[in-house]
Structure 1
Amino acid sequence: MTALRAYLDWLEKREGRRFADHDALWSWSVEDIDRFWLSIVEYYDVTFSAPWAAVRSAEPMPRTRWFTGARLNWAEHALRRGAGADPALLCLREGTGAEVRTVTYAQLRRSVAAAAAWLRREGVRPGDRVGAYLPNTEHAVIACLAAAAVGATWSCCTPDFGAEGTIGRLAQLEPTVLVATDGYHWNGTEIDRRDVVERLRSALPALRRFVAVPYLGHPVPAGATPWDDVLAEDAPLEFEPVEFSHPLWVLFTSGTTGLPKGLVHGHGGITLEGLKWAGLYCGLRPGERMFTYTSTGWALWNMQLGALAHGATIVLYEGSPAGAVWGVAERTGADVMMLGAAVVTASEPPPRPLRRLRHLLVSGSALPRDGYRWVSEHVGPHVRIDSTSGGTDVSGAFVGGQDGAPVRPGRIGGRLAGVDCAAWDDDGVPVVDDVGDLVVLQPMPSMPVHLWNDPDYARYTESYFGTWPGVWRHGDWVTFHSDGGITIHGRSDATLNRQGVRLGTSDFYDVLETLPQIAETLVVGVEQPDDGYWLGLFVVPAPGHTLDEELKRTIVTTLRTRLTARHVPDDIVEAPAVPHTLTGKRLEVPVKKLLRGAPLERAANPASVDDPAVLRWYARFAAERQG
């Protein structure tokens, strides 16, 4: 019996009605969304240290609060089920000879208890922030759980981020503790990040303690606490009961201008979403193993932690995916994998089918039809493939596959329980079998509690509810097909989405426009008909400079070293200028519309542009590029 069917059988007894399949569950879950989420609390035995007064408050999104009055701790639920001797984490890095390090549930609990006690001794209290600059290793999991155990708020950047990208995120939070690595591995090379860490330390004035993780074996810098010292003293495993919406972590997603946007998620919402998603849709049970290829800067890293609450094992792989992902799955005996579509399509076939693997979840974008055939042929015809889509915004998924639903290559299976989503046209009318904006009509517990430094909800409202008040507009183009399948067409705003990872345009500008050879830049990403993605960078050279091959090499090197390899564009084009609104904002969305084939009169109103002649240049460029 599948995990979903077991829940449905239990639900039938609870509700006194028949739930034949997931379609019946979804319909009920949005008709009585409060009772659905209460069923998740009851089925998974969520423990509250103080009772709740109401399942949901009366305030509309984004001010809705769930299980008001209840107190709990996410880390307690993450660590309560696994048997002591069972593996909680299987850790390995790139390289065929790298050993698999096993962290049992007993060892994980012991480490979290020690780290949490250290944080308390250092004066960290509920609401304080713990920042991190760590790769996908056990150190990140332990530190995250320890911060949550004391009620502190966690935020982590991946070390393939350069100094500017990391400072732009963590400095907003004013952390009192920083946990940082000396480097990471990529394509057979050790990448030293000690210089970035030193710049980060100097940019965090509220920092009281710095914990150094000598992952590459470099000496611990002066004034730092070695990671081993944090774990040195045994302590009781204690969890601070916090209010249901108390900040658990901050995930960052970049808008088109300004600082990256900090999404604050609460203990309770993440507990419920993690139990639902990992339990009903990944179907994880004690003894099973889940391998997610991710970095700590991607929401998939946070989502995978939900496996712990089911007593399952998480596989942590650190390094490049090139030629590695299927070997890692085989070596660790993965039952479930979650990969970005681009990782699947770029991977080399495994030497033999993966007999233990039963479920492959594909995130970031839908796996193309050829990808389904490739996986069936090389990984195994027994493997169920489900594309899923959600976001950093909710630290979870809106749509995906489910047991019993047909697998349609190139499409997503359907809407997930508790997610009242639809496609709306420009007039706010629901559409089926046509492209519309992905909207969510009722609140979800894992929606952000608030955005960082946004006390009056102004930025939150503008970001998600500015188009239709009280309705979450996600920013994806989507088609809900009449047969139940779903197609995600890409971002409807200017945020870049490359290889399933969102990239903020402001990160490009912050880095490139420090170069003396460059006056201004404009970056645009465009989805291609063949499921590809074109990332174009328009460069306005500074006076006395031209966009020659030397400057192009400088741009590529700067983006690769100060941001990530994903930020390197497909084309670098010299432009006469960058078009702006009358208030000075770059016209990223209109240029993207032009590149997707929209005529100039539909892409922008010339009266709102600082120099219409510049926009006409981009229209000509787009026409020439399209042939």
Structure 2
Amino acid sequence: MTQPQQLQGSLVWSPPAGESNSMDDFRAVVNQRYNLDLQDYHQLWRWSCDHLDQFWSAVWDHTGIVASQRADRAIDDDAPIYPPPKWFPGARLNFAENLLRFRHSQRVAVVQSTEVDTVTGKLDERSITYAQLNTAVARAARALRARGVAVNDCVASYSANNIENLVAFLAASSIGAVWTSAAADFGPEGVLERLRTVRPKVIFSVNAVRYNGKVHDHVAKLRAVVEGLEEGRSPDEQRLEGVIVVPYVADAALPEAAEGWATWDAFLAEGEGDDSIAFEQLDFNHPLWILFSSGTTGKPKAITHRAGGMLIQLAKEHLIHGGLRETDVFFQHTTTGWMMWNFLIAGLVSGCTIVLYDGSPLKPASVLWDLAEKHGVTTFGTSAAYLGALEKSGYVPREHHQLKVRQILSTGSPLRAELYPFILEKIGADILIGSVTGGTDLCSLFAGHNVALPVRAGEIQARNLGLDMDVFDDAGEPVPVGREGDLVCKRPFPAQPLGFWKQPESKYFDSYYAQFPGVWYHGDFVSLSEHGGLVMLGRSDGILNPGGIRFGSSEIYELLEAAESQDVTSCIADSLVVALKTAKGDDEVVVLFLVLQPGCPADASPDEFAKLVKQLVGLIRAKRSARHCPKFVRKVTGCPKTLNGKRIEVPVKKLINGAPLSTINLATLANPEVLPEYIAIGEELREEMKRH
């Protein structure tokens, strides 16, 4: 296999010659509309950042935004980025109305699927047309109104990824209520930390979920959240007035009847009537949904996004960057607690079919590919971690399935270069591999897939239209192409959050605008490639800096997970790399934590572990540099992860450098029980650093 260094930046896919695509079509529209001669994407991107008003006005028209009143302009071209400016002043629209623009169609809008029942072998799967979706939303919206839900009320979900959850969101949005969501696998404490901030009037949930071959009761967790919301609630805070429970797992118990509680069918019966929906016409900048940051070192940020900003940004990404069409089938593996759920359901703006899946992605390894083949998925969204796990599993989708996938979108962490040829060899030879980046902070993308550009291994194709991204050094100055630095955005963008719901404005300012005056600081450590793409190196706050040489943790992870390293790393199940300050605090060293496969030689024998460490250090030295080599390698029982399954480096870095456990928000972690092990190791390492 080609070495990673040779793969990085190598061409792996190009747009079909002679075929039109959505991006080039949009560029032609812009050229004609404004009498320009933009020759390629990079010229279009530069123009889009320099002429915000013209660009976003063109996007409004090209994506067919449905509005009862449009604005005279999008924004002043010289508007500052903070305070976040108002966009399209005077425009009135409704987000749900735009997602239901095809509401009279008999095409399938949504497919819902779960794991196969391991007892009966039955697959719980169903679908709904756009017309049926509209009817369900109409009934749910009337039922919410009957329960007193109005503009600016908060409606929450603590639920599975199912059709009812989507209907509830669209119904709330049609009224102008503000939506927030937590995945069913979140623990009650973490959910309460979020919902006590927003104080929902109604919660939608399920009776149980099926995951990893087992049915898990959800009612007890739901009751704990409901009771916890009432405890400590002040008289001036909104009381939870309704709980709607979907009988998601047929054989699982439903909660006993209680005031304000109802099953899904009973709730819909409260909204009996025709299929008409009274879409509230709201300001472009009206709040749509609240997404929460992981909050591993403090209370989660209640990031509040504007309806119009989300609509135009996500429509641009799906319709222009991704070329999503009515004939497409769009799947994104996600829970309801991750921003990729919002990204997925926004695909309805194209009139395509979206696929919701709830369950384990690797039990068995074929499950998502069975789904893709059965429903003709054309855009397959997943995570870099899943693709790495698929590679390790040895499962080869193209040997077992007739697939129609033309795009694979990857997010969550950097997609290492050697996974690009793996995708083309094992999944499909003609696939646009779209590594994308953005985040909860903007609930959309800063850079990502682009149907008009070639794909190069290890690179995100390009910075997205209308987003003036750059890379700054520590002094706030742009760095040359190929040099690492911090990702920033220098101009306003519609997906800028309005602020943090009921949290101090200072917290919002400090999160994005305090680092470098006059720009948005995103917190990613990146470099721009010579091809105009973006190379992700890790989170800036978790960057390693031994001896003054900055590098991203992904440089270590990529090596440990590479196929050609497996003769050394096959016994490694998981890893975490962080920095430990020297005794004087004037430098730092690299610490590598390893979770080993149970029963492997290095797990059973100290001598074998020492042998593994020696091999790993040699591998890292040979493939990266001496600066990359860990000074300490320690075996642990588990790597701490967020509720969405992401590695957490910064809290571990704090703990091993002596911060107390109280500085870590345990409610945001999936496995906080592993943290004491890191505290103990940190104490040992700091003592050793003092001795040497």
Q: Shorter-chain TM-score category? A: 0.7 to 0.9
Q: Quick one: distance in 2 between partners of 1:133 and 1:265?
A: 19
- The residue identity in structure 2 corresponding to 1:422 is D
The 1:126–1:59 alpha-carbon spacing in structure 2 relative to 1, beyond 3 Å, is farther
Write the mapping of 1:242-281 to structure 2, written as runs, cut at 5 A: 242-281=282-321
- Give unpaired runs (5+ residues) of structure 2: 1-19, 231-238, 544-551, 562-573, 580-635, 666-680
The answer on 1:215 being equivalent to 2:258 is no
Query: Secondary structure of 2:135's match?
Result: helix
Match of 1:547 in 2: none
**Once superposed, which parts of structure 1, at least 4 consecutive aligned residues long, lie more than 6 Å away?**
555-560, 567-570, 572-578, 620-624
On the 8 A contact 1:62/1:470 being kept in 2, the answer is no
* Structure 1 pair 279–622 and aligned structure 2 pair: CA distance change class (3 A): farther
Q: Distance in 1 between matches of 2:655 and 2:465?
A: 50
Shift of the 337–575 alpha-carbon distance from structure 1 to 2, 3 Å rule, reads: closer
Match of 1:306 in 2: 346
For residue 292 of structure 1, the aligned residue among 332, 336, 339 is 332
1:91 and 1:138 in contact (8 A); partners too: yes
1:22 pairs with 26, 41, 56, which one?
A: 41
Counterpart residue type for residue 440 of structure 1: C
Q: Distance in 2 between matches of 1:622 and 1:320?
A: 42
Do the aligned partners of residues 73 and 565 (structure 1) sit closer, same or farther apart at CA in structure 2, a change above 3 Å counting?
Answer: closer
Check 1:569–1:9 CA distance in 2 against 1; reply closer, same or farther (3 A cut): closer
User: Per-residue displacement from partner, 1:174-223 (whole Å, max 9, x unpaired)?
Assistant: 00101111221111111111111001111223101111112123224322
- Whole-angstrom distance in 2 between the partners of 1:399 and 1:623: 44
Which residues in structure 2 correspond to 1:327-366 (within 5 Å)? Answer: 327-347=370-390, 348-350=395-397, 351-352=399-400, 354-366=402-414
Contact 1:353 1:380 in 2 (8 A): no
Structure 2: how far apart are the matches of 1:397 and 1:34? 20
Note the alpha carbon deviations across 1:563-602, whole angstroms, 9 max, x for none.
85938999x9999986249xx9679xxxxxxxxxxxxxxx
| Equivalences, count | 549
Name the TM-score, length of structure 2 as normaliser.
0.74
Which of 459, 466, 469 in structure 2 is aligned with 1:418?
Answer: 466
2:655·2:682 contact (CA, 8 Å) conserved in 1? no
| Identity percentage of aligned residues | 33
- Note if contact 1:22-1:402 (Cα within 8 Å) is conserved in structure 2: no
Q: How far did 1:481 drift?
A: 1.7
Separation (CA, whole Å) in 1 of partners of 2:654 and 2:71: 58
TM-score, length of structure 1 as denominator length: 0.81
The whole-number CA distance in structure 1 between the counterparts of 2:526 and 2:334 is 25
When structure 1 is superposed on structure 2, of 423-432 and 8-17 the one drifting more is: 8-17
Structure 2 Cα separation of the partners of residues 623 and 395 of structure 1: 44
Kindly provide the CA deviation profile for residues 144-199 of structure 1, in whole angstroms up to 9, marking residues without a partner as x: 11110000000010011011111111121000101111221111111111111001
Aligned-residue offset at 1:131: 0.8
Corresponding residue of 1:442:
491
Question: What is the Cα deviation at residue 417 of structure 1?
Answer: 0.5
For the pair 1:56 / 2:56, whether they are aligned, the reply is no
Verify the 8 A CA contact 2:52 2:75 in the aligned structure 1: no
2:184 counterpart residue number: 159
Distance of aligned partners of 1:52 and 1:621 in 2 relative to their CA distance in 1, 3 Å threshold:
farther
Structure-to-structure mapping, 1:144-543, within 5 angstroms? 144-205=169-230, 206-217=239-250, 218-223=253-258, 224-232=261-269, 233-235=272-274, 236-322=276-362, 323=365, 324-347=367-390, 348-350=395-397, 351-352=399-400, 354-431=402-479, 432-454=481-503, 457-493=505-541, 527=554, 529-531=556-558, 534-535=575-576
Gap change, CA 1:585 and 1:343, over 3 Å in 2: closer
Q: Tell me the equivalent position of 2:155.
A: 130
Q: Secondary structure at the match of 2:55?
A: helix
Question: SS of the counterpart of 1:66?
Answer: coil
Q: CA deviation at 1:326?
A: 1.8
Say which is worse superposed, 356-365 or 292-301, in terms of deviation.
356-365
Contact in 2 for aligned 1:26/1:416 (Cα 8 Å): yes
Partners of 1:391 and 1:363 lie apart in 2 by 9
Question: How far did 1:425 drift?
Answer: 0.3
Compared CA separation, residues 475 and 537, structure 1 to 2 (3 A):
closer
Q: What is the distance in 2 between the residues matched to 1:557 and 1:202?
A: 32
Query: Deviation digits for residues 530-589 of structure 1, max 9, x if unmatched?
Result: 326734899xxxxxxxxxxxxxxxx989989xx85938999x9999986249xx9679xx
Distance 1:38 1:132 in 2: 34
Match of 1:279, as an amino acid? L
Structure 1 residue runs of 5 or longer lacking an equivalent are 496-524, 539-554, 588-613
Matched, 1:70 2:110: no
CA distance in 1, matches of 2:207, 2:638: 21
Identify if the C-alpha distance between structure 1 residues 83 and 9 changes in structure 2 by more than 3 Å, giving closer, same or farther: farther
Superposition map of 1:90-129 within 5 A: 90-95=111-116, 97-129=122-154
Name the residue aligned to 1:566.
645
Q: Is the 8 A contact 2:81 2:520 kept in 1?
A: no
1:617 offset after TM fit, Å? Answer: 5.6
Q: Deviations over 1:20-40 (max 9, x none)?
A: 321121011011022111111
